Amino acid sequence: MSHIVELICVQCGRRFREGEADTCPTCGPDEGILDVRFNLKSAANTLTRAALATRDRSHWRYRELLPLAEGFTPTPAAVGFTPVIEAPRLAQLLGIRRLRLKDDGRNPSGSFKDRPSSVGVARAIQQGAKAIACASTGNAASSCACAAASAGLPCYIFVAKFVPEGKLAQLLAYGATVFRVQGTYAQAYDLCNQACEKFGWYNRNAAINPYLVEGKKTGGLELAEQLADAPPEWVSASVGDGCSIAGMYKGIEEMRAVGVTSFSVKMLGVQAAGCDPVMKAFETGKLDRSFAGNTYADSINVAVPRNWRKAVNAVGASNGAFVAASDEQIMKAVVETGRSTGVFAEPAAATAIAGIAVARQKGILNSQSDVVAMITGNGLKDVAGAMKAVGKPHDVDPSMDAVAWALKV
Ligand SMILES: [Zn+2]
């Protein structure tokens, strides 16, 4: 028995029992996204700070708030409990009082998506599925392949043609069967859903599968626990599909509801200016389904976000804000984050930093602001993207004269 009470449609409020539906049939698969509700009162009986102090340092420590039956089998690769790093020099560059980075690039496949993917694989195994499948711009896919490999479950991946090579190499190294779809992400996504239906694979796609957001939620559960004694005012996170920021906020709120923490935060949702349909939906209240846009930050290059409503609701409920950063600002953030903190962020992750700079310019943040940025992916994921921003090495002859000349000494 899990602590799940019901699932609720974010559009019309219709309620469902666990397993009854994955999307709301009244609202359809595009708008009828479901949100999983837990019995927080019963979870609070055993999920306490004292209990947490005795548990494994992975995201499985929050078992009362995971969509898994008691006695589930965790995937072996250690996911979560990533460090929160103080970043005083970057805070100074950005003009805010305090900045901390939650470095989720340290997860097994190098991204935040290891959280939902490991939960997806654990659920697939619990349900007796023979395989798991996923469509992704990259990180969801590589994390799915990683978790499946660690658990010995076959994995089928549908990627769009612009997937960076580092991520593709990961997929193949983890032994997934990879379909590189010669079309858009939306087409890869639809194809994956059809294949799951036809072949009976477990569908890891976060928008269709409401339980995946509960894996993303562990990023928020952890932030809440780790920051309990010195909570920030804001959490900044990049936004592509929308379900990551929604999950983070949900986690922070659930930890407050069960009494492990007593603080809330404002969420700063950051999109790339070239691809900002969720920010526009935040302003207008509805999604422009004909939106066309593009950014080099491939992990958030999502023109038709499936979870826009969850993201808009979360940022709104937190009294937060949305901003957009240009690709140039994102490239600058990759460099500044690396040089002032030692954390190599992929472009989509550095977008959370670029957004802080934008929010500071707009007056949303000020010189006294205390912010935590979610670094959602490691820079090695997208070396080509990083190389656009980081400069060149000194090519020198093997002599001290050449070194001195390069150093201009
Ligand atoms: Zn509905």
Distance 225 CA to ligand 1 centre (A): 33
Q: Are 349 and 336 in contact (CB under 8 A)?
A: no
Residue 292 to residues 182, 237, 295, 302, 304, Cα–Cα distance (Å): 18, 22, 11, 9, 8
3-state secondary structure of 190: helix
Interatomic CA distance for residues 256 and 224, integer angstroms: 8
Interatomic CA distance for residues 303 and 203, integer angstroms: 21
Distance 187 CA to ligand 1 centre (A): 24
Structure confidence by residue, pLDDT tens digits, 228-249: 999 999 999 999 989 999 999 9
Distance 399 CA to ligand 1 centre (A): 70
Distance 362 CA to ligand 1 centre (A): 36
DSSP class of residue 236 equals: E
Structure confidence by residue, pLDDT tens digits, 108-131: 999 999 999 999 999 999 999 999
pTM over 0.75: yes
Distance 307 CA to ligand 1 centre (A): 14
Written as tens digits, the pLDDT of the chain (409 aa) is 689 999 999 999 999 999 899 899 999 988 899 999 999 999 999 999 999 999 999 999 999 999 999 888 888 888 999 999 999 999 999 999 999 999 999 999 999 999 999 999 999 999 999 999 998 868 889 999 999 999 999 999 998 887 778 778 999 999 999 999 998 878 988 999 999 999 999 999 876 789 999 999 999 999 999 999 999 999 999 999 899 999 999 999 999 999 999 999 999 999 999 999 999 999 999 999 999 999 988 889 888 898 999 999 999 999 999 999 999 999 999 999 999 999 999 999 999 999 999 999 999 999 999 999 999 999 998 888 788 888 889 999 999 999 999 999 8
Q: What is the pLDDT of residue 192?
A: 94
- Partners of residue 38 on adjacent β-strands: 4
Distance 35 CA to ligand 1 centre (A): 11
Position of tokens 């993303």? 216
